[in-house]
Amino acid sequence: MDDIKINDTVDITDVVCPVTFVKAKVALEELEDGEILSVHMNDGEPVQNVPRSIKEEGHQILKLIDNEDGTYDLLVRKVEE
């Protein structure tokens, strides 16, 4: 996954559902079409639900990285409508 160039990161470990998704969505809005956002999230509810919500918004999910410390990084390519 070294070939994926991350343009921006957002940490959603400091908020709870549904603000987790909102925070990720707002961060994606700041990006240009095709740019990549890394979303730092907690295990449990966020990692169960946030990837699907981002998919349903039409963005492209590339990878979920397990940091093995109870957090995950989700790499998302922004897709403009």
Label residues 22-56 b or e (16+ Cβ within 10 Å = b). Answer: ebbeebbeebeeeebbbbbbbeeebbeebbebbee
Q: In 3D, which of 64, 22, 59 has the Cα closest to residue 40?
A: 64
Q: Which among 4-12, 19-27, 29-37, 57-65 is the span making contact with other proteins, rule CB under 8 A?
A: 57-65
Contacting residue, 8, 13, 61, 73, with other proteins by CB under 8 A: 61
Q: Which is nearer to other proteins, 14 or 66 (CB)?
A: 66
Residue 26 in contact with other proteins, rule: CB under 8 A:
no
Residue 56 in contact with other proteins, rule: CB under 8 A:
yes
Q: Point out which residues bind other proteins (CB under 8 A).
A: 43, 47-49, 51-52, 55-56, 60-64, 66, 72, 74
